[in-house]
């Protein structure tokens, strides 16, 4: 079973916050081989535990939020509620709008935030908007990452990078969710059975 798709590999192993540009690649799930058809490079790959991937990516972020958030952030008075609402709109604008529409929308929202901070006498409102914007952005990323499957990229048994593949793409390609990394073993078992049958004949 082979998949042909552009793939971005991580700049460093186990680091999922920075990726190289996408290259056209072929993934052979029988031989567990990764081929960059543009650079003409070949590596082995192996499925990574999904929860290990989430932990490596988001646990440091959770620690950062733990030390930057306080009881005030959960007081839900008019100041924090205003900041949460504006931050949510900002996150949605950045993740749904494109190009000029995004720039105009963000500029208008920031201008409105400054005006509101003056009206409710909260000079720190814009700072809290950006703080909660980071929170909402991480939640959006977490949702998007839940739709991806992580893999190790290996060279002579050494992990050199990682990459992510949409689960929907794997499903459409007919690769069972519970046997992606066992296809090679299953194929070898089938070949072994076929060989035994041939010998018996």
The structure tokens 């990078």 sit at 161
Residue 82 and residue 134 in one domain = yes
Residue 81 and residue 128 in one domain = yes
Residue 42 and residue 121 in one domain = no
- pLDDT tier at 158, thresholds 50, 70, 90: very high
Q: Which of 120, 145, 170 is the last residue of a domain?
A: 145
Q: Which of 109, 128, 145 is the last residue of a domain?
A: 145
Residue 25 and residue 68 in one domain = no
Percent of the chain topping pLDDT 90: 58
Residue 167 and residue 179 in one domain = yes
In angstroms, rounded to a whole number, what is the distance separating the alpha carbons of residues 186 and 178?
12
- pLDDT tier at 167, thresholds 50, 70, 90: very high
Distances in Å between the alpha carbon of 81 and those of 73, 100, 150, 178? Answer: 9, 28, 36, 43
Residue 154 and residue 193 in one domain = yes
Residue 139 and residue 62 in one domain = yes
153 near 9, Cβ under 8 Å?
A: yes
Q: What is the strand order of the sheet 2-7 is part of? A: 2-7, 23-28, 33-36, 41-47, 148-155, 158-166
pLDDT at 173: 76
Which domain does 95 fall in, by range?
57-145
pTM of the model: 0.79
In angstroms, rounded to a whole number, what is the distance separating the alpha carbons of residues 145 and 150?
9
Residue 127 and residue 171 in one domain = no
Q: Which helix (H) or strand (E) holds 184?
A: helix 183-200
Q: 62 in helix, strand or coil?
A: helix
Residue 45 and residue 62 in one domain = no
Residue 153 and residue 106 in one domain = no
Residue 87 and residue 129 in one domain = yes
In angstroms, rounded to a whole number, what is the distance separating the alpha carbons of residues 134 and 154?
33
pLDDT at 199: 44
pLDDT in tens, 130-147: 999 999 999 999 999 999
Residue 83 and residue 161 in one domain = no
Query: What is the tally of structural domains in the chain?
Result: 2
User: Which residues lie below 8 Å from residue 91, measured CB to CB, with a gap of 6+?
Assistant: 133, 136, 137, 140
Percent of the chain topping pLDDT 70: 87
User: Which residues lie below 8 Å from residue 59, measured CB to CB, with a gap of 6+?
Assistant: none
pLDDT in tens, 6-61: 999 999 999 999 999 999 999 998 889 999 998 889 999 999 999 999 999 999 99
pLDDT in tens, 60-108: 999 999 999 998 898 888 889 999 999 999 999 998 888 888 899 989 9
In angstroms, rounded to a whole number, what is the distance separating the alpha carbons of residues 22 and 177?
24
Q: How many CA atoms lie within 13 A of 79 on its CB side?
A: 15
In angstroms, rounded to a whole number, what is the distance separating the alpha carbons of residues 30 and 149?
17
In angstroms, rounded to a whole number, what is the distance separating the alpha carbons of residues 8 and 23?
7
């Amino acid at each position: 079973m082979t998949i042909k798709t552009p793939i971005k590999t991580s700049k460093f192993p186990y680091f999922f916050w920075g990726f190289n540009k996408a290259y056209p690649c072929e993934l052979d799930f029988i031989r567990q081989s990764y081929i960059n058809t543009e650079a003409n490079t070949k590596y082995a790959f192996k499925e990574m535990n999904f929860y290990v991937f989430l932990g490596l990516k988001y646990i440091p972020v959770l620690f950062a939020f733990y030390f930057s958030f306080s009881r005030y952030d959960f007081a839900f008075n008019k100041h924090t509620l205003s900041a949460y609402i504006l931050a949510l709109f900002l996150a949605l604008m950045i993740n749904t709008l494109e190009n000029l529409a995004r720039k105009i929308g963000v500029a208008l929202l920031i201008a409105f935030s400054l005006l509101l901070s003056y009206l409710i006498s909260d000079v720190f409102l814009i700072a809290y908007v950006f703080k909660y914007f980071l929170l909402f952005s991480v939640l959006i990323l977490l949702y998007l990452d839940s739709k991806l499957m992580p893999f190790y990229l290996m060279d002579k048994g050494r992990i050199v990078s990682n990459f992510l593949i949409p689960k929907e793409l794997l499903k459409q390609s007919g690769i069972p969710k519970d046997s992606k990394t066992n296809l090679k073993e299953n194929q070898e078992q089938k070949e072994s059975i076929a060989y035994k049958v041939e010998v018996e004949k």
